Amino acid sequence: MTNPEEHDLEPVFEGGTDETAQIVIEFLEANGIQAFENSNLPHSIYPVLGDAQVLVNKNDAEKARQLLKAREDVSASEADEEE
């Protein structure tokens, strides 16, 4: 991917692994938001936590953040119920 600013993209998720980023991308796309992984970040041959970044169009960034927060809140409440 080229420079995100050239395409009006904004990061909405950072951290985790490439696999985590793919899950986030699939979730956002299932909710109607086109998302991309920033592949310009340096990667290691070993899985490294924290080097994944998911980008969306700036016009969709706020909605994407709200969806991700709601998803996080649901996951946290499900974890609380299991305890």
How many structural domains comprise the chain? 1
Using the predicted structure, report yes or no on whether residue 3 has a pLDDT greater than 70.
Answer: no
Using the predicted structure, report yes or no on whether residue 74 has a pLDDT greater than 60.
Answer: yes
Using the predicted structure, report yes or no on whether residue 49 has a pLDDT greater than 70.
Answer: no
- Domain range for 11: 4-82
- Domain CATH for 31: 3.30.70.1530
Q: Quick one: pLDDT at residue 55?
A: 96
Cite the beta strand spans of 1-83 per DSSP E: 9-14, 35-37, 53-57
Task: List alpha helices for 16-60, DSSP H.
Answer: 18-30
Tell me what the mean pLDDT of segment 20-32 comes to.
Answer: 96
Q: How confident is the model at residue 4 (pLDDT cuts 50, 70, 90)?
A: low
3-state secondary structure of 79: helix
**Half-sphere CA count of 25, side-chain side, radius 13 A:** 16
